[in-house]
Amino acid sequence: MTSTDTGSRAAAARQVARPIRPLRPPMRRPQSRTRTNLTLGESRTARVLALTALTIGALIWLLPMSWALLTAFKSEADASDPLNWFWPENGFTLEGFSAVWERGDLPLWMLNSLLIAAAVTVITVLVSAMAGYAFSRTRFAGRRWLFVLTVAAVLVPPQILIVPWFQQMLSLHLLDTYAAVILPQTVAPAMVFILKKHFDSLPQELEEAARIDGAGHWRIFWSVLLPLSRPMLAAVAIFVFIGAWNNFLWPFVSTSDPSLMTLPVGITAVKDAYGIQYAQSMASAVLAALPLVVVFVFFQRHIVKSVATTGLGGQ
Amino acid sequence: MTSPPRVSPRSASGQVRRLFSPGLLFALPFLVLFAAFMIWPLGQGLWMSLTDTSLSAHAPSFVGLDNFTEAFKDAEMWRALGHTLWFTVISTVPLVVVALGMALLVHTGLPGQWVWRLAFFAPYLLPVGVIGLLWLWLYQPDLGLYNHLLDSLGLGTVGWLSEESVAMWAIALATLWWTVGFNFLLYLAALQSIPDHLYEAAAIDGAGGWRRLWSVTLPQLRRITVVITVLQILASLKVFDQVYLLTKGGPNGSTRPVVEYIYDVGFTGYRLGYASAISYIFFALVVLASAVQFLALRRREK
């Protein structure tokens, strides 16, 4: 393989990031190159075998969600009928959904999750892009040292920070506020690293014309580099958003007021309240899963790329 | 929130310019958040690990390394660390192998690309709360899907989450279903970047499908496999959410990972100081794992 000089992550991130060069419009690229004749050979048996394996795999993978959907549309009696466990005796119903919706907390938690994930995403992307620009394009005292510190911080598991974060929010009287949930999630050293590498890959000539016209750093950042970086910014934003939308431990520790809970925390908190009401439980799971799955169906290509680009640095 | 940093039109005198250079102003919002929610908590955590800080009212006092000596003698902590390592082993292997298999099959270019990707990747988008509800229902002993299926095959039923010998495997299985799509996508991206001419050359040499897989595709994937494995190990070491939601660490603490032990000690047992000490021991483990992997990687490259 090619470069062996840099750290593995950096090299791999670049290697995978290659398909999304910023100057190329992101949508035009064919979704996947068809290589049937190259990788599978011409054998019909191989094709049939591969297709069979793929179909079985996909069925196994789709089974849990299908079962959840089936349960969600059953009546409670049918859902917990051990004999007619597959097809509901009394037909399908929306009882589960309406019961969950009437409880009223699920829409609230969705809204909380949306607000929190959106705030985390906007702050993280803006702040990380600015820092990435600073590390890539400017010189200031301590720049090298601060960048090394940032890269090293990628190693810190957020799980070990929950105790001090909790203590911090307790002493600032911020527990049970949006700020407490949002702020610690906006520190994303990996995203700073990815964006710095990205800015490094943009040719300097782009800014020189602007600089000759008298543009300062802010103009260059905002009007020249950011517009060129849209695909990369979108990739980072999607990745951060999914992470924040699904984050559990910190929102779980920092909120005890049900009206401030996010979706993953809330549906867990009332799990016991559902008791043996499996249809309701699955209806709430389906509703909670819906937003991101719908988004995925519409933006599949962007999300796939986002994970491929940012995933390596983001964990 | 962030006002545009001022940019001096002409360069001012050296020192002032260095201190208030636009570069620093650009980095400042990040550096402030970084200092407040990463550096400071790391320091505070280290300090707390040397005290008997508690969630109850009494003022914390300095206890030196007592928390650490207690932790090293704490059988529950070692047990929890063992569970974390065991989970890491039994989740990482299938999460890499299955992802590779899926990506190879999808990449053959068979029709229905959209469906395959949706099927394998969509679970990754589910919030862990949904994973909890869903798998509790799938694993439900009397009414759950899997026991129904086993029963109708005449294989008897399994106490998926209630038998000590099974629970961790059941959690690993749910984790595989949930997160394999992520590694699958990384593999797919890597497969797409293998240059065509390698396959063309192999075809000219008369290599068949299997031969091309062994001699072209897999060698080309070696590097990304190492990277995915490293990332997966680091992710698996941090396991908490799905374990907490599916078993709360049970039965009899047999699935409790170390992150849950930190949570239990700190927020159920109120002993924040002791929880901080265990946090740092866990942190040391993560750093150690990263260092080992980094060195192994360097050696391989040489």
CATH of the domain at A150: 1.10.3720.10
Q: Is residue A115 part of a domain?
A: yes
pLDDT above 90 (res B118): no
**Position A19 in a domain:** no
Burial string for B45-75 (b: 16+ CB within 10 Å, else e) reads beebbbbbbbeeeeeeeebeebbbeebeebe
Whether residue A143 is contained in a domain is answered as: yes
CA-based nearest residue in chain A for residue B231: A315
Domain membership of residue A246 (yes or no) is: yes
Contact yes or no for A90/A77 (Cβ under 8 A): yes
Which of 123-182 (A) contact B at CB < 8 A? 123, 126-128, 130-131, 133-135, 137-141, 143, 146, 150, 153, 155-157, 159-168
Q: Cα–Cα distance between A282 and A290 in angstroms, integer?
A: 12
Domain with CATH 1.10.3720.10 in chain B: 75-301
Residues of chain B in contact with residue A312, where contact means CB-CB under 8 angstroms, are 186, 227, 231
- Tally the domains of chain A: 1
Give yes or no for residue A124 having a pLDDT over 90.
Answer: yes
Find all residues with CB under 8 Å of A303, minimum gap 6, and list them: A238, A242, A295, A296, B125
Q: What is the pLDDT of residues A218-235, one digit of tens each?
A: 888 888 899 989 888 988
The Cα B300–Cα A156 span in angstroms is 25
ipTM of the modeled complex: 0.84
A26 belongs to a structural domain: no
Q: What is the mean pLDDT of residues A9-27?
A: 39
How far apart, in whole angstroms, are the C-alpha atoms of residue A304 and residue A307?
Answer: 5
Cβ-defined contact of A164 to B134 (cutoff 8 Å): no
Alpha-carbon distance of B264 to B225, in angstroms, equals 35
pLDDT-derived band at A14, boundaries 50, 70, 90: very low
Domain that holds residue A285: 102-314
Q: Which residue has the higher pLDDT, B106 or B110?
A: B106
Quote the pLDDT of residue B28.
93
The answer to whether B243 touches B171, Cβ cutoff 8 Å, is yes
Cα distances (Å, whole numbers) of residue A286 to A283, A289, B5, B134: 5, 5, 45, 9
Q: Which residues numbered 31-90 in A keep a CB inside 8 Å of some CB on B? A: 31-36, 38-41, 43, 46-47, 50-51, 53-54, 57-58, 61-65, 67-68, 71, 79-80, 82, 85-86
B122–A85: do the CB atoms touch at under 8 Å? Answer: no
Q: Calculate mean pLDDT across residues A88-111.
A: 83
CA distance B181 to A292: 15
Minimal C-alpha gap between A48 and chain B (Å): 10
Burial of A114 (0-12, 13-18, 19+ CB in 10 A): middle
Distance from CA of A194 to the nearest CA of B (A): 14
**DSSP, residue by residue, A28-74:** SS-SS---IIIII-S-HHHHHHHHHHHHHHHHHHHHHHHHHHHHHTS
Q: What is the pTM of this model?
A: 0.84
pLDDT band at B296 (very low <50, low <70, confident <90, very high): confident
A226 in any annotated domain? yes
C-alpha to C-alpha distance for A136 and A139, rounded to whole angstroms:
9
B174, closest residue in chain A (CA to CA): A64
| A95 falls within a domain | no
Rounded CA-CA distance A13/A9 in Å is 6
Q: How confident is the model at residue A161 (pLDDT cuts 50, 70, 90)?
A: very high
Q: Domain B75-301 falls in which CATH fold?
A: MetI-like fold (1.10.3720)
